[in-house]
């Protein structure tokens, strides 16, 4: 997928000005956090599970090469195949090769962010194979030729009237006067239209929420059942998964599963959690004849052992998106690539580079809600700060920001000068604003004062009050 993250500011302004988007986002803001909170309150062990989840992932990442090799052995023992892909291009190429080997014409897909990351649909389409998204949200945005705006609710930026318009425009074989005002009717229509697609597909491609080294199994978690139809009906099942999805045992996966649904949708457990191990067995009446796992690196191995390794614990629950005030204001498309919100602000520069990911690590107020709800305890604000440091060091931040920071750093290292100037500035501002008590606009801060007034300083500065207090205490 082509990144437009560099244009975050312009994208964000478009999002803020889009009344329909704001209507859609308003509905999302209350639902997800409330449901998550209720689910967490109901499980007294939730905090302890977070600690264990973090430890499981840290252990796996520290021995990732061992567990990958063990996983590969077990997949082969179960009759499946493992393919290793360093880059998006390699992953696309191997998937195309598998599809061609069976003469595939159509492919059904379960929702996979990794497939978005490697631009799989475009690659297959360019080679004459139609890939049909089957998750309802993904199907809707595929019809609209839009990227997903949320990692678990890809069409969260749309209201139902827009979806109805899309269905009318795309499902032209259906009677034009049919009612489509309700979500129920839209769901039923998608179910009806997609059912023959499921049955006709030659290959089914899914992602994986986890890969279990012990058994060579891939795990998918869904609510719709589309992933299961995708991997049960066609002759070939391809699992596309990035390296860090690995866990050692079923027991380890169970701990993470207890965290995943509660953090994501606030469910106790998603409707369907499915483990797949190899192809159809002798005597089985259904299931794919071939089972392939494509293991994708695409920059992840380079994050190991460094300051961004914590990000590889991410289980893609989207709790950080659902609790982020910036995401809630601008929506997912503003982030300009596959992964939006706080996890995207860290992961995007990790995978496509800070030069292309531009402002994303700055798209945060550092309020810390993302870290506080992250089931894997990823220190997202700290990681964003590391990216800001790298952005500054690489001279990628705007000139004014770099200049301002340099002046501030100069003063911060000279406390006496800093205090004197701060005292002077606050007196000057206090004097200038003595009549109104506030400023409508300030030089160098017009962006800030555009939407709020700056109160004029009153009385003495914090520093002088603090010094007086210290003196009095002595």
Partner 1 sequence: MSEARAQILSGIRRALRRGPVDPATAAELRARVAAHRRNLIPARAAALGHAERVALFVAMAEEVQATVARVSSAAAVPDAVARYLSGENLPAELIAAPDPRLEAIPWHRRPLLRIRRGRAEADDAVSLTPCFAAIAETGTLMLISGAQTPTTLNFLPDTHIVVLHEDQIVATYEDAWDRLRAHAEAIGGLPRTVNFITGPSRTGDIEQRIELGAHGPRRLHIVVVADRCGAGDGEEREGG
Name which of residues 48 to 107 contact partner 1 (CB under 8 A): 48-49, 52, 56, 62-70, 78, 83-86, 90, 94
CB-nearer residue toward partner 1: 111 or 359: 111
- Provide the token pair at 203: 């290959």
Query: CA-to-CA distance for 16 and 8, rounded, in angstroms?
Result: 12
For partner 1, the binding residue among 14, 16, 43, 454 (CB under 8 A) is: 43
Q: Which stretch binds partner 1 (CB under 8 A): 134-142, 201-209, 333-341, 365-373?
A: 134-142
Q: Which is nearer to partner 1, 225 or 353 (CB)?
A: 225
CB of 411 to partner 1, least distance (A): 39
**Based on CB atoms, which residue is closest to partner 1, 45 or 173?**
45
Count interface residues toward partner 1 (CB under 8 A): 105
Output 233 or 320, the one with its CB closest to partner 1. 233
Binding to partner 1 by residue 271, rule CB under 8 A?
yes
Q: Based on the shown chain and the rule CB under 8 A, indicate whether residue 229 belongs to the binding site for partner 1.
A: yes
Positions 299 through 318 that interact with partner 1 (CB under 8 A) = 301-306
Q: Which stretch binds partner 1 (CB under 8 A): 132-140, 382-390, 405-413, 465-473?
A: 132-140
* Residue 258 binds partner 1 (CB under 8 A): yes
Nearer to partner 1, 120 or 363 (CB): 120
Phi (first) and psi of residue 300, to 5 degrees: -70, -40
Residue 273 found at the interface with partner 1 (CB under 8 A): yes
In this structure, how many other beta carbons lie within 10 angstroms of the beta carbon of residue 158? 21
- Cα(160)–Cα(469) distance, integer angstroms: 60
- Binding piece for partner 1, criterion CB under 8 A, among 216-224, 333-341, 392-400, 432-440: 216-224
Q: Which of residues 12-41 bind partner 1 (CB under 8 A)?
A: 24, 27-28, 31-32
Cα separation, 218 vs 137, in Å, equals 23
The contacts of residue 416 (CB under 8 Å, 6+ apart) are: none
In this complex, which beta carbon is closest to partner 1, that of residue 82 or of residue 129?
Answer: 82
How many Å apart are CA 57 and CA 446, to the nearest integer?
A: 45
Indicate the residue among 40 and 397 with the shorter CB distance to partner 1: 40
Measured CA to CA, the distance from residue 381 to residue 392 in angstroms comes to 16
Least distance in angstroms from the C-beta of 319 to partner 1: 15
Q: Report the site for partner 1 in 360-399 (rule: CB under 8 A).
A: none
Rounded Cα gap, residues 238 and 251, in angstroms:
24
Q: 370: closest CA among 306, 326, 308?
A: 326
**What would the two tokens of residue 199 be?**
């049955």
Which phi-psi region, left, alpha or beta, contains residue 282 (left: φ > 0; alpha: ψ -120 to 50)?
beta
Nearer to partner 1 by Cβ, of 290 and 364: the residue is: 290
Angle of CA points 353, 357, 359, to nearest 5°: 135
- Give φ, ψ of 295 to 5 degrees: -95, 115
Would you give the distance in Å from CA 192 to the centre of its chain?
30
Identify the residue among 268, 307, 389, 458 touching partner 1 (CB under 8 A).
268
Which residue's CB is nearer to partner 1, number 43 or number 405?
43
Residues 174 and 193: their CA atoms lie apart, in Å, by: 10
Residue with token string 């994303």:
360
Between strands 236-242 and 290-296, the pairing is parallel
User: Binding segment for partner 1 among 261-269, 370-378, 385-393, 401-409 (CB under 8 A)?
Assistant: 261-269
Site for partner 1 in 153-212 (CB under 8 A): 153-156, 158-160, 163, 183-184, 186-188, 190-191, 194-196, 198-199
Q: Does 215 bind partner 1 (CB under 8 A)?
A: yes
Short-list 172, 71, 135, 141, CA closest to 338: 141
Residues 281-300 that bind partner 1 (CB under 8 A): 281, 283-287, 295, 297
CB of 403 to partner 1, least distance (A): 36
Q: Which parts of 133-179 fold into alpha helices (H)?
A: 136-143, 160-170
> In whole angstroms, how close is the CB of 395 to partner 1 at the nearest point?
26
Interface pick for partner 1 out of 121, 142, 274, 364 (rule CB under 8 A): 274
The residue among 213 and 314 lying less far from partner 1, judged by its C-beta, is 213
Distance between CA 376 and CA 318 in Å, rounded? 12
Task: Give the C-alpha separation, 12 to 257, whole Å.
Answer: 34
């Amino acid at each position: 997928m082509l990144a437009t993250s560099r244009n975050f500011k312009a994208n964000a302004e478009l999002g803020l000005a889009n009344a329909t988007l704001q209507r859609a986002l308003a509905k999302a803001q209350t639902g997800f956090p409330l449901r998550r909170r209720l689910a967490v309150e109901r499980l007294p062990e939730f905090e302890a599970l977070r600690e264990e989840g973090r430890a499981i992932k840290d252990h796996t990442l520290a021995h990732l090469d061992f567990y990958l090799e063990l996983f590969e052995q077990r997949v082969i023992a179960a009759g499946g195949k493992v393919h290793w892909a360093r880059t998006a291009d390699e992953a696309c190429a191997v998937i195309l090769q598998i599809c061609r080997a069976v003469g595939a014409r159509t492919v059904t897909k379960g929702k996979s962010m990794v497939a978005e990351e490697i631009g799989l649909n475009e690659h297959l389409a360019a080679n004459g194979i139609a890939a049909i998204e089957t998750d309802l949200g993904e199907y809707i945005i595929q019809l609209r030729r839009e990227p997903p705006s949320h990692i678990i609710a890809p069409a969260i930026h749309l209201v139902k009237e827009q979806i109805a318009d899309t269905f009318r425009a795309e499902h032209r074989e259906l009677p034009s006067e049919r009612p489509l005002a309700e979500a129920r009717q839209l769901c039923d229509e998608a179910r009806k239209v997609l059912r023959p697609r499921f049955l006709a597909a030659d290959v089914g491609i899914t992602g994986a929420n986890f890969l279990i080294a012990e058994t060579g199994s891939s795990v998918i978690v869904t609510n719709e059942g589309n992933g299961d139809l995708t991997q049960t009906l066609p002759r070939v099942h391809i699992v596309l998964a990035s390296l860090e999805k690995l866990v050692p045992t079923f027991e380890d996966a169970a701990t993470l599963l207890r965290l995943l649904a509660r953090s994501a949708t606030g469910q106790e457990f998603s409707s369907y959690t499915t483990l797949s191990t190899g192809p159809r067995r002798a005597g089985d009446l259904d299931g794919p004849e071939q089972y392939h796992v494509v293991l994708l690196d695409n920059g992840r191995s380079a994050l190991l052992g460094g300051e961004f390794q914590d990000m590889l614990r991410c289980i893609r629950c989207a709790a950080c998106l659902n609790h982020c005030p910036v995401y809630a204001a601008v929506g997912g498309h503003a982030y300009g690539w596959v992964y939006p919100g706080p996890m995207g602000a860290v992961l995007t520069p990790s995978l496509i580079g800070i030069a292309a990911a531009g402002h994303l690590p700055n798209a945060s107020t550092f309020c810390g809600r993302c870290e506080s709800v992250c089931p894997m305890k990823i220190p997202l604000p700290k990681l964003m700060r590391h990216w800001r440091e790298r952005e500054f060091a690489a001279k990628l931040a705007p000139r004014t920001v770099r200049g301002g920071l340099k002046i501030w750093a100069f003063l911060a290292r000279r406390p006496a000068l800093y205090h004197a100037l701060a005292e002077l500035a606050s007196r000057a501002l206090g004097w200038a604003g003595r009549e109104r008590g506030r400023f409508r606009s300030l030089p160098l801060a017009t962006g800030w004062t555009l939407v709020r007034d700056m109160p004029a300083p009153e009385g003495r500065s914090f520093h002088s009050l603090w010094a007086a207090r210290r003196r009095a205490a002595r």
